[in-house]
Structure 1
Amino acid sequence: MSTKLTTADPQTETASSGLRRSLRRFDITAMAVAAVISFDTVGQIATGGGEAATWTAAIALFFLVPYALLFAETGAAFPQEGGPYVWVKLAFGRPAAALTTLFYWVTNPIWLGGSLVFLAAETWDGFVFHLGSGTVGDYAFKLLFVWIAILTAIVSLSRGKWITTVGAVVKVLSLTLFTVTAILYGAEHGFQGLSEARFTPTTAGFLGLVPILLFAYVGFEAPNAAGEEMHDPQRDVPAALGRSATIAAACYLLPVVALLAVVPADKVTGIGGFMEGVRLVFGVYGGAAGPLLTCTAVMFVFALLTQGSAWMIVSDRMQAMAAADGGFFARGLGAFHPRLGTPVRTNLLSGAVATVFMLTAMRLVHGDTGAVFGVVLTVAVTTLLLSYLAIVPALLFLRLRRPEVPRPYRVPFGNRGFVVCAVLVYAWILVGSWAALFPGVLESLFGIDYDFQDAWGVSRPTFETFTLGTIVVLLLVGAAGLAVARRERQET
């Protein structure tokens, strides 16, 4: 039984009228796993040392669990195409929804053209085939990576879902293989990293890790952007979200502990830490280590590619529905291809944004690849977390103001339980957003020494140019998009 709500004007209904239901519970789970489990953040989390494992577990318990409960209920109750765009629109109106969707959507081409492509190129260069830095081969690899991810989002969802499903399987298998091999390596050579790791949580460690950990754990609601392409969202969304969240928590915590167990904390790097750990532990396989390492590197890059594809599939649908609803520039931007059933124009826009961001990052940020990686990842963290500053209150508004909507799944303890979960999640998002935008500020309030250049590899002006500059540009683009859309609505 589906819940039909009037969430948009007839133009929106036209945009989504040709959609085909092709997502079942397994597909939703696989898409969430493919999108949320981030190879690029495993190494980044591990740079926090032993306490990274402690905070990974703590945030899973006190953030991921209430977060999953909130979105499981809302995703099942409001399963319309566009997901979070629809939720924010119902709560706060079209302009707020359009701006929120812009921040949510742009995270993904920035991430694709930033940390994902940089990590993929670094892995390919170091373990498969030499590319060099800034060479023709380097540029060609990164451009191909971006546009293959975009093309896999353009194909029909009935086919594209299998690409992301294979990516999810490859990702889980790769992390499982590494974890098991690390145990074998430790049994043979000793767990030397554990002797140096400090698992006691600290304020400094918390402030340094909370943005990246929140970024790692958010996004399980993303498949709801294709809500009208699910066979039974009211039953499948809560179950799929619970399963994918459990898998993600294990796939972050176990590899991070394994990585720290075999690699000294001071040698773990955000961009190369995971694969360097793989290189080390695969020594237990003797002569087969080389081919296995190359194969794992290829799987690693493929998983990154399908991760980008999964996010393009869901976030482009959100942005397309915002455009079709008259909330962002021209309605034509939100048109779904009549045969493919995908928002091809928005897909192409994502590819263009990812390409521009990738080229800008390569040319304007000075320093080694690791410094570029950290900055562009922080930009993606910032824009995504900022979008939840509107999404989470929208969930609470819908719970309290739309009680008549059937809710196949409910957060335990009624409204009180929902409010507690929403407040807890919102507090985490506020802290994470501030720490991502202004690193070092909270540390100074607690009397913690913070060397910005040493932490990021770039100066604060360069860092803030990328982060705050991105926010300002997005706000200007959003204002222009709202103005153009308003004029188009008035003319029609």
Structure 2
Amino acid sequence: MSTSDQHAAADTTVLQRSLKRFDITAMGVAAVISFDTVGQIATGGGEAATWTAVIAVFFLVPYALLFAETGAAFPQEGGPYVWVKLALGRPAAALTTLLYWVTNPIWLGGSLVFIAAETWDGFVFHLGSGTVADYTFKLLFVWVAILTAVVSLRRGKWITTAGAAVKVLALALFTGTAVAYGLRHGFQGLDGAHFAPTTAGFLGLVPVLLFAYVGFEAPNAAGEEMDDPQRDVPAALGRSAAIAAACYLLPVVAILAVVPAGKVTGIGGFMEGARLVFGVYGPAAGPLLKATAVMFVFALLTQGSAWMIVSDRMQAMAAADGGFFSRALGAFHPRLGTPVRTNLLSGAVATVFMLAAMWLADGDAAAVFSVVLTVAVTTLLLSYLVIIPSLVLLRLRRPDVVRPYRVPLGTPGFLVCAGLVYAWIAVGSWSALFPGVIEHLFGISYDFQDVWGVSRGAFEAFTLGTVAVLLLVGAAGMAVAGGFSATGAARTAPGETD
């Protein structure tokens, strides 16, 4: 075992096995299902439902199969970091983990917190914009999410479990109420809805749908805190993926059925749809709508905390292994068993982005910030461009590893699944980084300035610049930590011996 592996292994000795199959399933549901994404998907109109179903079958299913096999075969703490390290070496693993991790504090401070504040302001209690109440709410939201990742996983898992339950309950309540409303008043939203798939709809929806569906492997970052990962990971991943597919498809169809065409807009798609259909409850509609808004905000909070729990563990393992600045960042608290220093780093990054968004709220600065935020969030997709080939290499190079679950049809089935998933990720990543290019090839009209508020040249400068900055940060982190000394594929993983 190398020196860096000894450091990483030492950091995991304080971990306690507290995640059972139900907990892993709940964590996957809490992390992946997002109310705001439901509304955003519905903006695609009738074909949004079609593409949601198509991508569930041809992306989510093979994706789940790949990670079910790999997660059970390689259950070490750090999950994807360990997989990429074993396949491609520490430098590739460290840079990939940075792209995977940085998405989450930026998303927490640059998107989730603003959606939560807008919902609270519009449906629960007036906050105003830029007021003391507004700043207080947003700071509390960010740091409560971080603190739930700081507490021991034995306790913190119940927060994410509650978030998963609230999500499923709220989406089921909304869907059932929408059906009742439609039976009474008619499904007006279906008038003129076009469910036939189009190329333009496909290119517009692919990035958001892929972003909605990825992440079910995230609980593997806490692999050494699972009670029986080799048996529980495949079953939990399958269940959480099935729940997520239903929780996206059914509410999207419900929104499209009851909200008039052209009036579905992001967050308004869900909350305004709820305001409309809850009218069937008469005088109880107001309290129910307010309760739904509270559940909405709580679900967003637990989604942020779930991602902090898992992605911070990945980044901590990279730091402990000599892949990100100081090994001290990878230390797990001896009593809590959590990477507190990495948690606090995530909180600081989220707070900076939240404050930057507050200060750059108007004019061209807002458009620029929106572009940078969009690219930073899509770094999660970019990380899979390395993770998926790593899974294939592990399948081919390590056939001797015990695999409690195997993709149907063996290695050919694994390769087909990997090819499908990689193709989807490649298209989604390209569409996110270079929007409008594929549309132009197919002769589809795309007004870049109208969509993004900046010119294409400015957009590409900011997008590629953001990715370049992240890669430079990763390279600097490895150089400072001395991680470039191990350039070959590592033969051991944290907690594993030859």
The answer on 1:309 being equivalent to 2:305 is yes
Change (3 A) 1:104 1:150: same
Tell me which moved more, 131-140 or 62-71.
Answer: 131-140
Given the alignment, which residue of 442, 447, 462 partners 1:446?
A: 442
Could you tell me which residue of structure 1 aligns to residue 122 of structure 2? 126
- How many Å separate the matches in 2 of 1:370 and 1:184? 40
Q: TM-score, normalised by structure 2?
A: 0.94
The answer on 1:171 being equivalent to 2:163 is no
Given the alignment, which residue of 200, 215, 218 partners 2:214?
A: 218
Could you tell me which residue of structure 2 aligns to residue 323 of structure 1? 319
**Letter aligned with residue 385 of structure 2:** L
The answer on 1:47 being equivalent to 2:43 is yes
Change (3 A) 1:181 1:487: closer
The answer on 1:251 being equivalent to 2:251 is no
- How many Å separate the matches in 1 of 2:210 and 2:240? 16
Change (3 A) 1:297 1:466: farther
- How many Å separate the matches in 1 of 2:21 and 2:354? 35
Could you tell me which residue of structure 2 aligns to residue 406 of structure 1? 402
Q: Is the 8 A contact 2:322 2:483 kept in 1?
A: no
Deviation at 1:375, TM superposition (A): 4.5
**Letter aligned with residue 350 of structure 1:** S
Change (3 A) 1:211 1:279: same
- How many Å separate the matches in 2 of 1:423 and 1:363? 43
Change (3 A) 1:405 1:488: closer
Q: Is the 8 A contact 2:372 2:466 kept in 1?
A: no
Could you tell me which residue of structure 2 aligns to residue 190 of structure 1? 186
SS where residue 30 of structure 2 aligns? Answer: helix
Change (3 A) 1:84 1:8: farther
Deviation at 1:105, TM superposition (A): 0.3
Could you tell me which residue of structure 1 aligns to residue 108 of structure 2? 112
Change (3 A) 1:489 1:422: closer
Could you tell me which residue of structure 1 aligns to residue 143 of structure 2? 147
**Letter aligned with residue 146 of structure 2:** I
Deviation at 1:84, TM superposition (A): 0.1
Deviation at 1:460, TM superposition (A): 4.3
Given the alignment, which residue of 269, 290, 295 partners 2:291?
A: 295
- How many Å separate the matches in 1 of 2:79 and 2:130? 39
Could you tell me which residue of structure 2 aligns to residue 476 of structure 1? 472
The answer on 1:32 being equivalent to 2:28 is yes
Given the alignment, which residue of 257, 264, 268 partners 1:268?
A: 264
Q: Is the 8 A contact 1:320 1:335 kept in 2?
A: yes
Q: TM-score, normalised by structure 1?
A: 0.95
Could you tell me which residue of structure 2 aligns to residue 385 of structure 1? 381
**Letter aligned with residue 427 of structure 1:** A
**Letter aligned with residue 191 of structure 2:** S
Q: Is the 8 A contact 2:150 2:339 kept in 1?
A: yes
Over residues 313-352 of structure 1, what are the superposed CA-to-partner deviations in whole Å (9 max), with x where a residue is unaligned?
A: 0000000000001111110000000000000000000001
Deviation at 1:371, TM superposition (A): 7.1
Q: Is the 8 A contact 2:170 2:295 kept in 1?
A: yes
Over residues 158-178 of structure 1, what are the superposed CA-to-partner deviations in whole Å (9 max), with x where a residue is unaligned?
A: 000000000000000000000
Deviation at 1:438, TM superposition (A): 1.3
Could you tell me which residue of structure 2 aligns to residue 137 of structure 1? 133
Deviation at 1:132, TM superposition (A): 1.8
Deviation at 1:34, TM superposition (A): 0.1
Q: Is the 8 A contact 1:211 1:381 kept in 2?
A: no
Over residues 181-207 of structure 1, what are the superposed CA-to-partner deviations in whole Å (9 max), with x where a residue is unaligned?
A: 000111111100001211000000000
Q: Is the 8 A contact 2:360 2:366 kept in 1?
A: no
SS where residue 406 of structure 1 aligns? Answer: coil
Could you tell me which residue of structure 2 aligns to residue 159 of structure 1? 155
Q: Is the 8 A contact 2:103 2:379 kept in 1?
A: yes
The count of corresponding residues between Structure 1 and Structure 2 is 486
The answer on 1:436 being equivalent to 2:424 is no
Change (3 A) 1:173 1:457: farther
- How many Å separate the matches in 2 of 1:273 and 1:374? 20
Deviation at 1:368, TM superposition (A): 11
**Letter aligned with residue 388 of structure 1:** Y
Change (3 A) 1:277 1:318: same
Over residues 433-486 of structure 1, what are the superposed CA-to-partner deviations in whole Å (9 max), with x where a residue is unaligned?
A: 010111111111111001123334555466546533321221111111010011
Change (3 A) 1:387 1:168: same
- How many Å separate the matches in 2 of 1:479 and 1:456? 30
Change (3 A) 1:147 1:455: same
Could you tell me which residue of structure 2 aligns to residue 485 of structure 1? 481
Change (3 A) 1:487 1:183: closer
Over residues 34-56 of structure 1, what are the superposed CA-to-partner deviations in whole Å (9 max), with x where a residue is unaligned?
A: 00001121111011000000000
SS where residue 267 of structure 2 aligns? Answer: coil
- How many Å separate the matches in 2 of 1:362 and 1:400? 49
- How many Å separate the matches in 1 of 2:168 and 2:201? 27
Could you tell me which residue of structure 2 aligns to residue 201 of structure 1? 197
- How many Å separate the matches in 2 of 1:294 and 1:328? 44
SS where residue 324 of structure 2 aligns? Answer: coil
Change (3 A) 1:275 1:215: same
The answer on 1:343 being equivalent to 2:310 is no
- How many Å separate the matches in 2 of 1:461 and 1:361? 22
Over residues 86-110 of structure 1, what are the superposed CA-to-partner deviations in whole Å (9 max), with x where a residue is unaligned?
A: 0000000000000000000001001
Q: Is the 8 A contact 2:323 2:481 kept in 1?
A: yes
Q: Is the 8 A contact 1:46 1:265 kept in 2?
A: no
- How many Å separate the matches in 1 of 2:216 and 2:481? 29
**Letter aligned with residue 167 of structure 2:** K
Could you tell me which residue of structure 2 aligns to residue 82 of structure 1? 78
Could you tell me which residue of structure 1 aligns to residue 357 of structure 2? 361
SS where residue 181 of structure 2 aligns? Answer: helix
Give the alignment's Cα RMSD to 1 decimal: 2.1
Could you tell me which residue of structure 2 aligns to residue 92 of structure 1? 88
Change (3 A) 1:467 1:365: farther
Over residues 358-412 of structure 1, what are the superposed CA-to-partner deviations in whole Å (9 max), with x where a residue is unaligned?
A: 2222323535999799656633442000000100000000000000000000001
Deviation at 1:265, TM superposition (A): 3.1
Deviation at 1:6, TM superposition (A): 8.6
- How many Å separate the matches in 1 of 2:170 and 2:100? 28
Unaligned 5+ segments in structure 1 are: none
SS where residue 191 of structure 2 aligns? Answer: helix
SS where residue 479 of structure 1 aligns? Answer: helix
- How many Å separate the matches in 2 of 1:144 and 1:459? 36
- How many Å separate the matches in 2 of 1:92 and 1:446? 36
- How many Å separate the matches in 2 of 1:174 and 1:52? 21
